[in-house]
Structure 1
Amino acid sequence: MSILLYKINKARFLCYIFYIISITSILLISPYSLSSPENTTKPSINIATVHWPGYTNKDGSGLYLTILKSIFDEKVVTLDISLMPYRRARYSVETLQNDIFLVESEFTRSFKLIYSHIPIDIGNVDYFHSQDTFFSDATSFSGKTLGWVKGYEFQKKISLPESHYNTFHVNDVLQGVKMLTQGRLDYFIDYDEGIKQTAHQNNIDIKNFTFTQGFQEVYLVGFSSDTKGRKLRVMYNNGMKMLFSSGQLENILFEHGVIPQIIDEQQIATILNYYSKLFSQN
């Protein structure tokens, strides 16, 4: 039994050494420097993100940060997380001040960044409207006022030409929900999770309003375009596959919820099914 235990521990040790060599290679740091008693500083991965409660919290917790911490072992590296406005966060990675940008919509990609092949999350973009507003297809938007957050390019997903409807760009989800419930918009287009969470947090009654399924969107991780960023992207993509195959990703989703503090089993199943199909193609 002691011989077997020795072999198991030795195998674990070798795997750990291999991980150290891999990640230090990615960070362009000599593995020897980590073991040197004169150098106790761990290499760092610098992450820039917007503060999204429940996803990227100020204390370093949240769904997205938990996923990254599960991929990049904090025993080996330091994850330096900076919270800042969206444009500044993305710009800091574009200009190589930081390594990773969380998160990017597929509709707003920057040509100055490289993006993960595997999304960190997927979301349902729905048409939020009054129960009295009839919707059948995109032609129902004709002559109506549609709202969505400034910067999103949802018009690319609407088959009806923009000239057939009016568009109002709101500053944030809260403004959109308020305008819709006050009758100032006919439709507010956004992620169903975000609308529900915003209404809940601001005590806005939406029981007389409904969600019509719109389209699915993926959320990507952006990386700096230098050598370090390209190698971190490889490690992220491989890490996501490992999290999924080991069942750890499912555990993380059920722990944090796809909507902060709300466990939506149907949406979790949708996300896991998406990853299953994605990985089966590779």
Structure 2
Amino acid sequence: MKRAIITCLGMVLSAMMTLAHPGEVKVSSATFAAPEWEGYTNKDGTGLYWEVLKAVYEPEGIRLRLKNMPWSRAMKLVTKYRVLDGIVGEYRDTEENLLFPEAPIDVEYLAVIHRKDTGIDWQGRETLTGKTVSWRRDYDLITESDIDFTLKEVVRPAKAMALLEIGDIDFFIDEYDEIENMLAAEGLDESEYVIEDLPPGKDVFTGFVNHTKSQQLIDIYNRRIKEMAGNGELEKIYLKWEVDMPSNLLALIAE
């Protein structure tokens, strides 16, 4: 009887020690969120970003929950309420309270659209100076300290196009593919607009909640990305979705 009591006490003490050091508990599940981006975060769980996360974590026995939701809501649930483990598609230089792995998941090429009949002579980034510019709310496409124009954020790209039509804004900035998809979705005549590149490309990352659990997830992410780069698995995923790999990932493949 005494031995049974001692054994039970030992089990209780062990459980208490585990609870006292939650960082030592092996992660068994993780939840990531992002807006629905076609080919990247599809509703059915496919897409480049979702498939990279699955390839990273599922072989480690970690069950994933992948959620589509607006960017601002996802960011609040990760940084303010800390009920999600991560958000996919953030810049490393963000002011949000996030932790990041070593390698980016994608490189984002931005573009600027404006009406052709405005006669604007595009001379690169400096053309935005003093103008009225729009992008999606909470996207923070240009660092706040570098904003030398009037910014009008919108929830939906269609709203920005309406503002362009009435001359309330001069430019709308988004990813090149997103702008072309929006023109098609809204039935707009692309010949009435000019789309300019806004170089250079900018790496985007999976951002993790600032919590002790995240270090395990980040360590696994860093290790698995290197493994997948070495065995060809990572390249196959990017080829499948016809997306260019960030230079950091290409460098890992070349090692």
What TM-score do the two structures reach when normalised by structure 2?
0.74
Question: How many angstroms apart in 1 are the aligned matches of 2:237 and 2:84?
Answer: 26
Contact 1:104 1:221 in 2 (8 A): yes
One-letter code aligned to 1:46? T
Task: Flag structure 2 segments of 5+ consecutive residues without an equivalent.
Answer: 1-22
Match 1:229 to one of 214, 238, 247: 214
Match 2:25 to one of 25, 28, 31: 28
- Flag the 1:247–1:178 CA change in 2: closer, same or farther, 3 A: farther
Task: Flag structure 1 segments of 5+ consecutive residues without an equivalent.
Answer: 1-25, 31-42, 259-267
Of 71-80 and 116-125, more deviation after overlay is shown by 71-80
Match 2:177 to one of 193, 201, 205: 193
Q: Provide the residue aligned with 2:8 in structure 1.
A: none
Q: Provide the residue aligned with 1:255 in structure 2.
A: 240
Alpha-carbon shift at residue 230 of structure 1 (Å): 0.7
- Flag the 1:188–1:86 CA change in 2: closer, same or farther, 3 A: closer
Q: Provide the residue aligned with 1:265 in structure 2.
A: none
Contact 2:35 2:68 in 1 (8 A): yes
Q: Provide the residue aligned with 1:133 in structure 2.
A: 120
Asked which structure has the greater RCO (Cα within 8 Å, sep 6+), the reply is: 2
Question: How many angstroms apart in 2 are the aligned matches of 1:124 and 1:188?
Answer: 14
Question: How many angstroms apart in 2 are the aligned matches of 1:242 and 1:74?
Answer: 12
One-letter code aligned to 2:76? Y
Question: How many angstroms apart in 2 are the aligned matches of 1:174 and 1:108?
Answer: 26
Alpha-carbon shift at residue 124 of structure 1 (Å): 0.8
Q: How many residues align?
A: 230
One-letter code aligned to 1:193? D
Question: How many angstroms apart in 2 are the aligned matches of 1:150 and 1:96?
Answer: 21
Task: Work out whether 1:218 is the aligned partner of 2:215.
Answer: no
One-letter code aligned to 2:223? N
Task: Work out whether 1:202 is the aligned partner of 2:176.
Answer: no
- Flag the 1:201–1:252 CA change in 2: closer, same or farther, 3 A: farther
Contact 2:113 2:172 in 1 (8 A): yes
One-letter code aligned to 1:68? L
Alpha-carbon shift at residue 190 of structure 1 (Å): 1.7
Of 95-104 and 228-237, more deviation after overlay is shown by 95-104
Question: How many angstroms apart in 1 are the aligned matches of 2:198 and 2:187?
Answer: 25
Q: Percent identity?
A: 24
Q: Provide the residue aligned with 2:75 in structure 1.
A: 90
Task: Work out whether 1:67 is the aligned partner of 2:52.
Answer: yes
Task: Work out whether 1:276 is the aligned partner of 2:250.
Answer: yes
- Flag the 1:228–1:166 CA change in 2: closer, same or farther, 3 A: closer
3-state SS, counterpart of residue 191 of structure 2: coil
Deviation string 1:198-239 (CA, Å, 9 cap, x unpaired) is 223333222343332213222211213333211111111222
One-letter code aligned to 1:224? V
